[in-house]
Structure 1
Amino acid sequence: MNNHSFKIPVIIPITIGIIAISFSSIFVKWSTAPVSVQAMFRLLFTLILMIPFVWKHRNWLKNLTVKTYIMLFLSGILLALHFLFWMGSLKLTTVASSTILLSLQPIFVMIGAYIGFKEKTSKSAMLSMVVAIIGASMIGWGDIGISITNIQGDILSVLGTIVVAIHMLIGQSLLKSIPSTLYSFMVFLVAVMVFALYNMTLDIPMTGYSHADWGIFLLLAIVPTVFGHVLFNWLLKQVTAATISMAILGEPVGASLLAILLLNEPLSLTQFIGGLIVLLGLYFFLQNTRKQHKNNTAKMTSKPRNGDSIIKDERDNFQA
């Protein structure tokens, strides 16, 4: 999609993405199937849904370099590991515990972006990030690490957070030269193959599940994957990986509220207050990011080239 044809403020697609991914943990908890099977069919169904949209980009495949294919393959492996670790954590601990640890992702993304891309973040944006992470920590404070099983779930969630941060940074680099739909399709395809190999190696059955489980697989594909991950991959062309990671901090809020309504998992007053703090930190981070983008645009427009006095950062169209 051409950036100039998109006039909707960035907060709208980000909000849609946050709501969509908030349902992911609920669906995982509802299914009785192994997480590797859930993840495999989740991505497989997503691939089928994406075919009509990615077909027009098929000619790009013959123009990709060997290095790009290697990076796509690595990104797909990391995504598979993320789903395996994080979805596995939901079987061992609560939604609040798992999603709160997942919300630490901006820290790893920010460190990785600085090391890999020399991408700097303003002090005010970093402060907003700290505020949001503190609020997210309050959400899961009451039930993190209270037993051996919960600790195992916590560790899996942290591992899932690290690998998805690396996955996003690789994606940010690849999306500079690859259509977002093609990137998502290739990465999902690799992840499906990884899960298929994983299931066959461990003799995990890939058929024989209930109609309810198959319905959940489809919901996982449509809601958190298409309207969550695919949407965020597309947004990586418009905003930084750190911004997307910061937006995902809204997931613990939505997931915890849904867990109360649909899973009967209680939410304490501390967790409720923490949710409000998360949203406050998220709002100020997006505002600071918008201001930083505008400042960069102003610097660029002050130095016109070849008689062109209007040189804009395309991301300026995406206003928080």
Structure 2
Amino acid sequence: MAPLTVFALVVAVLAVSSSAPLIAFASAPALAIAFWRNGLASVALTPVALGPRRGEVRDAIRGSRRRAGMFCLLAGLALAAHFGTWMPSVQLGTVATSTALVATQPVWQGLIAAWQGRRPSAAGWTGIALAVAGAAWATGADVGVSGQAVLADVLAVLGAIFAAIYTALGEQARAALSTTTYTWICYGVCAVVLAAVCVTGGIPLHGYDGRTWAAILALVAGAQLLGHSMFNYALEHTSATTVSVLILLEVPGAALLAWLWLGQTPRAGALPGLGLLLAGVAVTILGAARANRRAGAPALAD
């Protein structure tokens, strides 16, 4: 890879690794943080969405691309469910376990593909089995800690499932819409849903101290905008498989930051399960990439 691509990937991994520690650090309800994270990101994209992309946005709302716009709406709902489950898990449990469990998204993605008729390969099923076993091991280690730790694990797994649904819906929307239009609509819908939940539940959206606002702004600039932008840039110069595997570095990166910054030492009993889980996710990703290459081989030969 070119030095600039390597630099982009390093920046992206560092940016997304800061997400969970910043959520744990902020003295604000998780759902409120999720609202501001998506709302401010949507505001940042507005000049482009309502400028050069205005025609595309109009088509997605009431024009020829309304079907894609509907997928954007559904993806925004799934994204709200993802943030509404995973972000509370970070505050209830440990950064290391919550980040590792939400990283099982590719496993659930494979099961969604199987439900759609695109069955995973043998390697994919092996990876799914390893990841599920690792998640069970890590969660079982938390049973002896507290009921709150187990709840955090369950919420993190639900966050991974909703992230997979969000990605599957986004795949349908992206077939007809640009990244900017899709993310602007999706983030906006997610923010509106989370705002409604916060207002209904009496969750305060303001009145935080300076360090909490700094953490929220760092989340928006880092994980939400910079991290994903750098990954998207790298996708133009390297394979999606490489990027997907490198994203797994978020797990040890977040654990290291939580240890250095928050004093959260990963529980020894959960570490073997987390290692098995990550190995399973990596095998799932690599198996899916190999199956895609084989499926594409005849078309290339023609």
- Would the alpha carbon gap of residues 236 and 196 (structure 1) be closer, same or farther in structure 2, given more than 3 Å must change? farther
- The structure whose residues are more often helix, as a share, is 2
Deviation at 1:63, TM superposition (A): 2.3
Does 1:210 pair with 2:176?
Answer: no
- 1:58 is aligned, of 25, 37, 54, to 54
Q: Please list the CA deviations of residues 237-279 of structure 1 after superposition, one character each: whole Å capped at 9, or x if unmatched.
A: 9977x99776544332222122211111113667666676667
Equivalent-residue separation in structure 1 for 2:113 and 2:162 (angstroms)? 14
Does 1:168 pair with 2:164?
Answer: no
Report how many residues are paired: 296
Partner residue of 1:196? 195
Q: What is the DSSP-based 3-state SS (H/G/I as helix, E as strand, rest coil) of the residue aligned with 1:209?
A: coil
Q: Please list the CA deviations of residues 32-84 of structure 1 after superposition, one character each: whole Å capped at 9, or x if unmatched.
A: 11112111111122123323444322211232333322221111111111111
Equivalent-residue separation in structure 1 for 2:273 and 2:102 (angstroms)? 15
Deviation at 1:185, TM superposition (A): 1.1
Is the Cα–Cα contact under 8 Å of residues 95 and 256 in structure 1 kept in the other structure? yes
Partner residue of 2:36? 41
Relative to the length of structure 2, the TM-score reads 0.80
- Would the alpha carbon gap of residues 19 and 296 (structure 1) be closer, same or farther in structure 2, given more than 3 Å must change? farther
Residue identity opposite 1:62 in structure 2: R
Stretch deviating more after TM superposition (222-231 or 164-173): 222-231
Q: What is the DSSP-based 3-state SS (H/G/I as helix, E as strand, rest coil) of the residue aligned with 1:199?
A: helix
Aligned-residue Cα RMSD (Å) equals 3.6
Equivalent-residue separation in structure 1 for 2:77 and 2:186 (angstroms)? 8
Gaps of 5+ in 1: 1-5, 304-320
Q: Please list the CA deviations of residues 155-195 of structure 1 after superposition, one character each: whole Å capped at 9, or x if unmatched.
A: 22222222111111111121122111211111000011112
Stretch deviating more after TM superposition (211-220 or 128-137): 128-137
Q: Please list the CA deviations of residues 182-210 of structure 1 after superposition, one character each: whole Å capped at 9, or x if unmatched.
A: 11111000011112212222232222211
Relative to the length of structure 1, the TM-score reads 0.76
Partner residue of 1:19? 14
Stretch deviating more after TM superposition (93-102 or 16-25): 16-25
Residue identity opposite 2:118 in structure 1: E
Deviation at 1:105, TM superposition (A): 2.0
Stretch deviating more after TM superposition (45-54 or 205-214): 45-54
Is the Cα–Cα contact under 8 Å of residues 16 and 228 in structure 1 kept in the other structure? yes
Equivalent-residue separation in structure 2 for 1:236 and 1:72 (angstroms)? 22
Identity of aligned residues (%): 26
Q: Please list the CA deviations of residues 117-142 of structure 1 after superposition, one character each: whole Å capped at 9, or x if unmatched.
A: x3343323444555566667777774
Does 1:159 pair with 2:161?
Answer: no
Equivalent-residue separation in structure 2 for 1:287 and 1:171 (angstroms)? 22
Partner residue of 2:109? 109
Q: What is the DSSP-based 3-state SS (H/G/I as helix, E as strand, rest coil) of the residue aligned with 1:146?
A: coil
Is the Cα–Cα contact under 8 Å of residues 245 and 282 in structure 2 kept in the other structure? no
- Would the alpha carbon gap of residues 166 and 35 (structure 1) be closer, same or farther in structure 2, given more than 3 Å must change? same
Is the Cα–Cα contact under 8 Å of residues 100 and 274 in structure 2 kept in the other structure? no
- Would the alpha carbon gap of residues 291 and 101 (structure 1) be closer, same or farther in structure 2, given more than 3 Å must change? closer
Stretch deviating more after TM superposition (121-130 or 199-208): 121-130
Does 1:123 pair with 2:94?
Answer: no
Partner residue of 1:84? 84
Is the Cα–Cα contact under 8 Å of residues 253 and 275 in structure 1 kept in the other structure? no
Q: What is the DSSP-based 3-state SS (H/G/I as helix, E as strand, rest coil) of the residue aligned with 1:80?
A: helix
Partner residue of 1:182? 181
